[in-house]
Amino acid sequence: MTDYQPLLLELGTEELPPKSLHALSEALGTHLVKGLSEAGLSSKDCVPQLYATPRRLAVLVPDVAVSQADRIVERRGPAVAAAFDADGNATQAALGFARSNKVDVEALERISTDKGEWLAFRSEQKGQPAAELIPAIVSDALRKLPIPKRMRWADLDAEFVRPVHWLIILHGNEVIPSRLLSVDASNTTHGHRFHHPGSLQIDKPADYVFTLEHAGHVIADYELRRERVWEQVTALGAEQGGKAVIDNDLLNEVTALVEWPVALQGRFDPDYLEVPPEALISAMQGHQKYFPVVDNGGSMLPRFIFVSNIESSNPDNVISGNERVLNARFSDARFYWDSDRKTPLDQHIEQLKTVVFHNKLGSVYERMQRVRALCLYIAKHTGADTTMAERAASLAKADLLTGMVYEFPDLQGIMGRYYALHQNEEPDVAEAIREQYLPRHAGDALPATKIGQALSIADKIDTLVGIFSIGEIPTGDKDPFALRRASLGVLRIMIEDFVDLDLRKLLGQATSLYDLDEDRSDEIARQVFDYMLDRLNAYYAERGYSSQQFNSVLQRKPTRPVDFDARLAAVAAFAELPEAEALAAANKRISNILRKSGEAVSAPVDTGLLTLDAEQALHARIESLSAEVEPMFLRGDYTNALTRLAALRPEVDRFFDDVMVMDEDIRLRNNRLALLDRLSTLFLRAADLSQLQ
């Protein structure tokens, strides 16, 4: 019986990139378990325990075999018919197969399969010890980690995301001898850089977490550490009668920056609250990794919470040091706030000519002009105020020249809104300047104003068309201009805010604003359109639609996203009907018949050639329902239209039971093909239901 022992892998490093820590930990666990499973040392369903701190990546795999199990290897040889002649003597094929296995022909076995009887040789293969296999498995797992750029250190050949200082590979209570990344494996780890800089011995994997926490001042479990950070920050916020604002990304980053979290609370000068809260929050979260505190009404309090990586004997000194740093940051923010308001946004527009958008696409000023023209086009088609739309587009990028946005780039649009309101612009104009960047990420809020919707769509469409026009199309995981996000942003606004625009025409309008010939302009518009439709697959999958339902609509390539959404909802509702499966199969059958026939079926159905009751009944039902559902299709009521068309099932079933479509009489054949084409076209008004098969 195979013996199993827990396996502990720990890699001790210099401080790892905090935003990558969790992903590196997950990837290491995944690749290690996969390698062990493929080597027959553990189950592929084995759940590893992952540990990650700023200075270490560790995985504990509960059950790893001490050795591979012995196994029987079966090698198939020639067919028996070819292995022996008519007299039963072994042929060269049988003799050669026996020699290759270093046995006599008599030692070979016969196995029967559905394809006949074959010679075979079975041998026992001894399993290798885990200690001989694990170093290579660990090395392979480390090589596969998602590290964009690996570094070297000292004069070593090793490469990793950060310099490596120690390595544990402990199987049971035995260290597996190996040398990886220029470090020899041992059972020695290191505690907290300040609280316990010395070494710690791990006698067995089960001791790892306890030893690090109680002797080394390190909470190795990332999720447990994250929970403690959240609990401490939340408690401190509540102590002062307020509430800590805990951004999830910041919480993850702070968790990745500390091994022994200690939350502390500081104060800042209340006068800084005159500065827009977004600027204060940006300084706290983005620059200092602090958590803001708000009152019950959501207004900022002159307090902040930070998480130290040390349990200081004099926390007041730690707090005062952080207060000094934050007050200096806030002083800069207040200076920019006061200074920027002295210059109207209009005066920055001309300066945009000096700011490069892309070296192949010109300046931000030129981009602003394209976006303005596109925004006006959208406003005219959506009923937005064109005067305010033009004004918002003109001012949209002006805040890029302000001191505040230069210092805090994540505030672009947000500060533009404040400055626009300060110079008495229309509220909708100011709001649109902020909303142009929405949605900023998956699940983010969408623009709420018509002008904001128009400006956001125009801004993203111009980026898509521009980047496609210079051939920098995203490939694989590389998307430096966030075109996937821009595509989904446009589609979400159109679908969820019900902005009913023809996307294909809009892209044609956008490409016309570039210096492209007509053919190239059409090609770019088509490429971007197809690219954007491809993005919808994941979007609708998250909303519970199947790939078959999505593809049934995609085949029709609706050019209006609102129309695409209505068709897909109709297909999903249709798929729930009892007639759906049979009619989907019928549509598939019709599609195959029409494709294989090669006959022209564009002619109308000749009722005089409908000789059988079944085809007459189908034709009559089609004409009756067609008159009923045509108005539904015209107003986009696809759900009711498909529901009514489901009533065709009895006539369709009877037709295929009673009628020979490919009749020898060419007139009857073509007429029946025309009838099927009429039926198919009716369903295709909504979607290609054959895709549901």
Q: Could you tell me the CATH number of the domain that includes residue 403? A: 1.10.3210
- Dihedral over Cα of 72, 73, 76, 77: its sign: negative
Any domain includes 440 = yes
- Name the domain boundary from 314, 340, 366: 340
pLDDT value at residue 1 = 46
Same domain, 33 and 138: yes
Environment class of 246 (CB within 10 Å of its CB; exposed 0-12, middle 13-18, buried 19+) = middle
Verify that 286 and 323 share a domain, yes or no: yes
pLDDT of residue 579: 87
Instruction: Flag whether 408 is in a domain.
Output: yes
| Residue 554 resides in a domain | no
Residues 392 and 540 reside in one and the same domain = yes
Whether residue 302 has a cis bond before it, omega within 30° of 0: no
Q: Verify that 172 and 230 share a domain, yes or no.
A: no
Confirm whether 221 is domain-assigned: no
Which of residues 514, 544, 574 is at a domain's end? 544
The terminus-to-terminus CA distance of the chain in angstroms comes to 49
Residues 522 and 409 reside in one and the same domain: yes
530 to each of 74, 466, 502, 537, 558, how far by Cα in Å?
50, 16, 14, 12, 11
> What is the number of alpha carbons within 13 Å of residue 274 lying toward its C-beta?
9
Point out which residues pair with 267 in neighbouring strands.
303
Q: Please indicate, yes or no, if residue 530 is contained in any of the structural domains.
A: yes
CATH number for 588 = 1.10.730
Query: Which residues of the chain fall below pLDDT 50?
Result: 1
Q: Is residue 549 part of a domain?
A: no
Q: Please indicate, yes or no, whether residues 364 and 433 belong to a single structural domain of this protein.
A: yes
Residue holding tokens 């000292």? Answer: 154
Q: Is the distance from CB of 256 to CB of 21 less than 8 angstroms?
A: yes
Which distant-in-sequence residues (6+ apart) come within 8 Å of 489 by Cβ?
A: 438, 439, 456, 460
Domain hosting 86: range is 71-125
In a domain, 51, yes or no: yes
DSSP 160: B
Distances (CA, A) of 230 to 42, 260, 379: 35, 13, 45
Same domain, 494 and 574: no
Total domain count for the chain?
Answer: 5
Q: What is the pTM of this model?
A: 0.81
Torsion of the alpha carbons at 415, 416, 420 and 421, rounded to the nearest 10? -30
Q: Are residues 197 and 252 in the same domain?
A: no
Q: How is 565-614 classified by DSSP, letter by letter?
A: HHHHHHHHHHHTSTTHHHHHHHHHHHHHHHHHH-----SPP-GGG--SHH
Tally of CB atoms within 10 A around 254: 26
Q: Domain ends where: 283, 307, 340?
A: 340
- Are 462 and 370 in contact by the 8 Å Cβ rule? The answer is yes
Q: Exposed e or buried b for every residue in 219-228, given b needs 16+ CB within 10 A?
A: bbbbeebbeb
Domain check: are 620 and 632 in the same one?
Answer: yes
Q: In the prediction, which pLDDT does 602 show?
A: 65
Are 423 and 457 within one domain? yes
Task: Kindly state whether residues 263 and 365 are assigned to the same domain.
Answer: no
Regarding whether 64 and 75 lie in a shared domain, the answer is: no
556: in domain: no
